[in-house]
A and B are shown apart, each in its own frame.
Chain A
């Protein structure tokens, strides 16, 4: 049995028709050629003769090329109707082939209309950017706010040069000495606490060790945030005043439970 659809597809591929229009053309042409072939066969022609005769109908593609612009408009029908044989052919492995053809068609169209493509890309870029910004704000302020009583009253303090030549305008961290100086002169904030970036530490207990992350913070860190401990206590006022004194740590209850369980 001849694959008329494949034959027609190969012949009209150079016309670069819009995929749905091409799909309809292939459907109709292949049906026509099959009818012609069957008629010739029933009239006594050999398979070879009937095939050649039917296929010769596709020899002159000039009228089709001439009308291909109009043929683009024929796609007002459902591209893959229910019960269409094409659905089965996709299911048995032609999906990638069809996808590849569609991608090549899309690439050709984009090459032909670079301004339109630029406009679409910019529109999408701006749209996605605006959405991301809005979502970030909503996520931070509404969906996942800081777990402190008054997050809107919190502010991060950092250092910036008055006339920065750097492209980055991110605030730089303070030294501990600067922090002490700011704390002494502070007349803006009700409290000023310091903290470092997260750093890895090892908890050792009962002969076992557990890796975890920690931050070094000043003694007024938790009171500045307005937090209350779930169990035990936070730092006492004099626990960060003596250099080299016995260190004190505050752990998340969940992390403490996990660490204790692992350490036996």
Chain B
């Protein structure tokens, strides 16, 4: 196993929440999810293809997201991922936990949450 930086570890811990959050409003394909994570995090967070898709498959295995291949005219087919009702519940729960975690971290470290 390759050595990991703290950023990588934090990213790993929050990856599920990131993906679930992005799928809350609408189904998205993998590249779309990857781009949004990069853009909305200001480039700080970025998932490579080899880590994003295994994560998506894992979430799908758990029944939190569902996928289907979609073919559009003049385009290659793409697999779109969407949030399942179970995933929506998990998202709510993870958001709550995350807020509590960040608050606790701020209290201990003195780092103000933006």
Contact surface of A with B, Cβ cutoff 8 Å: 24-25, 27-29, 31-33, 35-36, 56-64, 66-68, 70-71, 73-74, 77, 81, 83-85
Contact A60 B50 (CB under 8 A): yes
Chain B residues positioned under 8 Å from A83 (CB to CB): 71, 77
Extra inter-chain contacts (6) besides given A58-B49, A81-B69, CB under 8 Å: A60-B50, A61-B50, A62-B2, A62-B50, A64-B54, A74-B57
Q: Roughly how many angstroms separate A83 CA and B34 CA in the complex, as a whole number? A: 27
Interface residues of B in 13-51 (CB under 8 A from A): 29-31, 34, 48-51
Contact B31 A32 (CB under 8 A): yes
Chain A residues positioned under 8 Å from B29 (CB to CB): 31
Q: Does B88 sit within 8 A of A, measured CB to CB?
A: no
Interface residues of B in 52-105 (CB under 8 A from A): 52-55, 57-58, 60-61, 69, 71, 76-79
Say which size band chain B's interface belongs to: 20 to 34
Chain B residues positioned under 8 Å from A32 (CB to CB): 30-31, 34, 49, 52-53
Chain A residues positioned under 8 Å from B69 (CB to CB): 77, 81
Contact A57 B31 (CB under 8 A): no
Instruction: Describe A's contact surface by its main secondary structure.
Output: helix
Chain A residues positioned under 8 Å from B1 (CB to CB): 62
Q: Roughly how many angstroms separate A56 CA and B54 CA in the complex, as a whole number? A: 17
Known: A63-B50, A63-B51, A84-B77. A73 touches B31 (CB 8 A): no
Contact A63 B79 (CB under 8 A): no
Most buried by B among A24, A29, A57, A62: A57
Q: List 21 A-B contacts (CB under 8 A).
A: A27-B77, A28-B79, A29-B53, A32-B30, A32-B52, A33-B49, A57-B48, A59-B48, A60-B2, A60-B48, A62-B50, A63-B55, A64-B50, A64-B51, A67-B58, A71-B54, A73-B61, A74-B60, A81-B69, A83-B71, A84-B77
Tell me the smallest distance from the CB of B61 to a CB of chain A, in Å: 6
- Among residues of B, the one whose C-beta sits closest to the C-beta of A78 is B69
Known: A36-B31, A62-B2, A64-B50. A31 touches B78 (CB 8 A): yes
Chain A residues positioned under 8 Å from B58 (CB to CB): 67, 70
- Among residues of B, the one whose C-beta sits closest to the C-beta of A64 is B50
Most buried by A among B49, B52, B79: B49
- Among residues of A, the one whose C-beta sits closest to the C-beta of B75 is A31
Contact A70 B54 (CB under 8 A): yes
Tell me the smallest distance from the CB of A78 to a CB of chain B, in Å: 8
Tell me the smallest distance from the CB of A161 to a CB of chain B, in Å: 68
- Among residues of A, the one whose C-beta sits closest to the C-beta of B53 is A28
Tell me the smallest distance from the CB of B63 to a CB of chain A, in Å: 12
Contact B57 A81 (CB under 8 A): no
Contact B76 A31 (CB under 8 A): yes
5 smallest beta-carbon distances between A and B, as pairs: A67-B54, A63-B51, A35-B31, A57-B49, A64-B50
Q: Roughly how many angstroms separate A74 CA and B79 CA in the complex, as a whole number? A: 12
Among A24, A57, A77, A81, point to the contact of B50 (Cβ < 8 A).
Answer: A57
Chain A residues positioned under 8 Å from B71 (CB to CB): 81, 83
Q: Roughly how many angstroms separate A122 CA and B49 CA in the complex, as a whole number? A: 44
Among A66, A68, A85, point to the contact of B76 (Cβ < 8 A).
Answer: A85
- Among residues of A, the one whose C-beta sits closest to the C-beta of B2 is A62
Chain A residues positioned under 8 Å from B48 (CB to CB): 56-60
Q: Roughly how many angstroms separate A70 CA and B54 CA in the complex, as a whole number? A: 8
- Among residues of B, the one whose C-beta sits closest to the C-beta of A8 is B49
Tell me the smallest distance from the CB of A156 to a CB of chain B, in Å: 66
